[in-house]
Amino acid sequence: MATTTLFTLHLCRFGQSFSKKLFSTSPSSDTLLNPHHVTFHHKLRRPNSSSAPAFFRRFSTVAAASTSGEVNYDGIGTADEKYDVIVVGGGHAGCEAALASARLGARTLLLTLNIDRIAWQPCNPAVGGPAKSQLVHEVDALSGEIGKIADRCYLQKRVLNVSRGPAVRALRAQTDKREYAMQMKSVVESTPNLSIREAMVTDILLGKNDNVEGVCTFFGMKFYAPSVVLTTGTFMSGKIWVGRTSMPAGRAGESASHGLTENLQRLGFETDRLKTGTPARVDIRTVDFSGLEPQHGDKEVSWFSFDPDVHIEREQMCCYLTRTTGRTHQIIRDNLHETPTYGGWVEAKGPRYCPSIEDKIVRFQDKESHQIFLEPEGRSVPELYVQGFSTGLPERLQLPLLRTLPGLENCSMLRPAYAVEYDYLPAHQCARSLMTKKIQGLFFSGQINGTTGYEEAAAQGIISGINAARYADGKQLIVLERESSYIGTLIDDLVTKDLREPYRMLTSRSEHRLLLRSDNADSRLTPLAHEIGLIDDRRWKLYQEKQARISEEKKRLRSVRISGGDLAAEVSRVSGQPVRDSSTLESLLKKPHIQYGILDEHGFGNIELSRIEKECVEIDIKYEGFILRQQSQLQQMVTQQHRQLPEDLDYHMITTLSIEAREKLSKVRPQTIGQASRVGGVSPADITALLIVLEANRRKAQEQSRYKIMNAMRAKALEEEVPEVSCTETVSS
């Protein structure tokens, strides 16, 4: 096996250098060597290489080898094949992974099936929403890209849950999906250390120690790197369904990737299948909006990114609301047998939070109507996304169904709704660093881990990108604890719980969400990002200045006191509580319904603070009691929960554990006690048993090492025949 690998490696290298020599249009060897220009080089070469070379290369290897003596670019050619990190897939996970890795200085290669579909939004033209927006803020705090691109490409922005508490306030942006993909693509293309290549990866190359060495593509190319990140999305053995008809595809119009699943299975990975879907798109010009309820964006726009450079306001577009009618329900009820779920030819259930319209109608029969949202997909395209209307009905019924909706009576359909089935790898096979437990250096992110959503993908992408780069660099991997962030919660859930449906982030999944707000995502995560080298000096300076201003302002509010006056009168009127003489501004802010704006109105605000900073100050002061209580609860819990579990613990041998716990723990192999306690079927008594075993093992190990040291010393003492006197001397000295 090892020799074959070695052999092909050689052949490949020759082939590559040969082809390069033949087809390279960029003559300067400087350009080749300079990683900044590598992308350029690829782009220039692509039209040529698409003609034949991939097949040609294998066949021509002998010839190439014979001529290799004359080739001087050998080193240059092969250098291109070796990277620090290879990211497979150019979706939302892949982009963040590749960017983070490249920004950390790792030579990174992004392999994607289609360069024109980088960062594509195949479903909702939107970013954010409850819980998801927290993920976006957190990724941004780690210097990820999703927030910035969404801020640049928004069509409409709204803050949800405005009055329901700072922890659940959520920003949602409708995005221009074409612009989004373009923007992200140009960022990826212009990032130093990052190369892009179109390829379908079919195999993982292994080293001798269950470590990854690189990937092999369909056309026989081999790319080498100590870290590989797989972000295959819905493409791995993807199959799309419309009605009873299916075809292999990752998305409508894009071919699936084949072979990788089988190879991963051969490596011992467990794979399974998930299903998701997307609704139809209609032509915006054929919709009559006059009778529909418009949904406007916020007047005052909020931002995902903490970087003020991308805070550029643009004109907003409107979304509309329509509803299902009796006729809609009738058509669906009459044709239930034509849907995959009720017709019985697809067993896989869709996610609960994303039910098809037929599911809604069957399960909630007493509801006469369901809301449907109409969302534009871009400024320059006529497509309209019909949210809440995904269906498994055959295409011939889809248009009649759409036309039952008010406003869509005469609509024309641009793309039919379809469902997609794909392979994923239950994520308990990953550690919380997102590196797989089986193969060192192999990372999974995004839908391959069973999640859904751009934000969830981006969140995993940035973590696997960071860790892939660190792993290639021989550095310790980074784990975000569950309690630190929504990202941590997401990953902890993924690797611990037995998931049966695509995982979507929801606020109710976070136990300590009051501490994990969007406004403090930067103060939670940016210091870490700075420490590992992801945040540049400019961002770091901005961050520090912001924190200083907030902390100064809190100090000021604590010290400034007022007695009577307009402000006091207004505060007592609004809050319904009396204002005592010489009250601090801080104490005023703590009163119900009192916001920083009132201080501003009466000239007690600080004009140097931005709106966001004022909000931070307000939250910190207003909810201080709650925040501190949660913090101390967390501290109490964390001590126990973060105890590490050894990776090689044999749970089957621990007879004090219940049988169920033994099985579940052997499967999930949690990394900490806290994680173990969240594994289904593990009781508090099991955790106690586990703690005892850990401690007993630790003592045994300690005893052994002590015994060894003693023995070694005794042996040494005998060897050197040191008289006892000298020992005491050593001690006394």
**What residues between 624 and 643 interact with other proteins by CB under 8 A?**
624, 626-628, 630-632, 634-636, 638-640, 642-643
717 binds other proteins per the rule CB under 8 A: yes
Least distance between other proteins and beta carbon 47 (Å):
34
Collect contacts of 79-83 with beta carbons under 8 A, ≥24 apart: 79/33, 80/16, 80/20, 80/32, 80/38, 81/12, 81/13, 81/16, 81/222, 81/223, 81/224, 82/107, 82/224, 82/225, 83/107, 83/108, 83/109, 83/195, 83/223, 83/224, 83/225
Least distance between other proteins and beta carbon 368 (Å):
11
Among 498, 523, 274, 283, CA closest to 381: 283
Site for other proteins in 585-604 (CB under 8 A): 592-593
CA angle 667, 466, 524 (to 5 degrees): 95
Neighbours of 141 (CB within 10 A): 28
Instruction: Figure out which of the listed residues 274, 374, 494, 515 binds other proteins, where binding follows CB under 8 A.
Output: 515
Question: Given strand 126-128, what is the order of strands in its sheet?
Answer: 126-128, 170-175, 154-160
66 binds other proteins per the rule CB under 8 A: no
296 binds other proteins per the rule CB under 8 A: no
611 binds other proteins per the rule CB under 8 A: no
Exposure string over 590-616, b if 16+ CB within 10 A, otherwise e: bbeebebebbeebebbbeebeebbbbb
Neighbours of 450 (CB within 10 A): 22
Question: Given strand 272-278, what is the order of strands in its sheet?
Answer: 245-248, 239-242, 418-424, 272-278
- Cα-Cα end-to-end distance for the chain: 59
3 state DSSP class of 563: coil
At 588, list the tokens: 């005023």
Least distance between other proteins and beta carbon 131 (Å):
7
Which range binds other proteins by CB under 8 A, 63-71, 232-240, 548-556, 559-567?
548-556
Least distance between other proteins and beta carbon 208 (Å):
7
620 binds other proteins per the rule CB under 8 A: yes
Least distance between other proteins and beta carbon 729 (Å):
11
- CB closer to other proteins out of 8 and 440: 440
Query: How big is the site for other proteins, counted in residues (CB under 8 A)?
Result: 125
Least distance between other proteins and beta carbon 50 (Å):
32
709 binds other proteins per the rule CB under 8 A: yes
DSSP string covering 405-428: STT-TT--EEE--EEEEEEE--GG
Structural contact between residues 477 and 471, judged by C-beta atoms closer than 8 angstroms: yes
d(CA 464, CA 229): 7
- CB closer to other proteins out of 165 and 343: 165
650 binds other proteins per the rule CB under 8 A: no
Here's the x/- map for other proteins, 219-258, by CB under 8 A: it reads as -------x--------------------------------
Instruction: Figure out which of the listed residues 29, 34, 265, 644 binds other proteins, where binding follows CB under 8 A.
Output: 644
d(CA 458, CA 90): 11
Residue ranges with strand state E in 148-244: 154-160, 170-175, 194-198, 201-206, 212-217, 222-224, 227-230, 239-242
Among 354, 420, 419, 412, CA closest to 383: 412
Which range binds other proteins by CB under 8 A, 85-93, 188-196, 394-402, 725-733?
725-733
- CB closer to other proteins out of 266 and 475: 475
Site for other proteins in 143-172 (CB under 8 A): 160-161, 163-168
d(CA 540, CA 527): 8
Least distance between other proteins and beta carbon 258 (Å):
27
Structural contact between residues 146 and 92, judged by C-beta atoms closer than 8 angstroms: yes
* Beta carbons within 8 Å of 593's beta carbon, 6+ residues apart: 574, 575
Least distance between other proteins and beta carbon 488 (Å):
8
693 binds other proteins per the rule CB under 8 A: yes
CA distances from 684 to 494, 652, 654, 681 (A): 21, 18, 15, 10
Neighbours of 416 (CB within 10 A): 21
707 binds other proteins per the rule CB under 8 A: no
Neighbours of 186 (CB within 10 A): 12
659 binds other proteins per the rule CB under 8 A: no
Site for other proteins in 383-422 (CB under 8 A): 387-388
Which range binds other proteins by CB under 8 A, 7-15, 231-239, 397-405, 527-535?
527-535
- CB closer to other proteins out of 36 and 593: 593
Least distance between other proteins and beta carbon 385 (Å):
10
Which DSSP category does 251 fall into?
B
6 binds other proteins per the rule CB under 8 A: no
Which range binds other proteins by CB under 8 A, 71-79, 186-194, 305-313, 484-492?
484-492
Site for other proteins in 442-481 (CB under 8 A): 471-481
Site for other proteins in 298-317 (CB under 8 A): none
556 binds other proteins per the rule CB under 8 A: no
Least distance between other proteins and beta carbon 39 (Å):
24
Instruction: Figure out which of the listed residues 15, 89, 130, 297 binds other proteins, where binding follows CB under 8 A.
Output: 130
Which range binds other proteins by CB under 8 A, 63-71, 430-438, 566-574, 661-669?
430-438
d(CA 359, CA 336): 10
37 binds other proteins per the rule CB under 8 A: no
Residue count (the chain): 733
Site for other proteins in 342-371 (CB under 8 A): 351-355, 360, 363-364, 367, 370-371
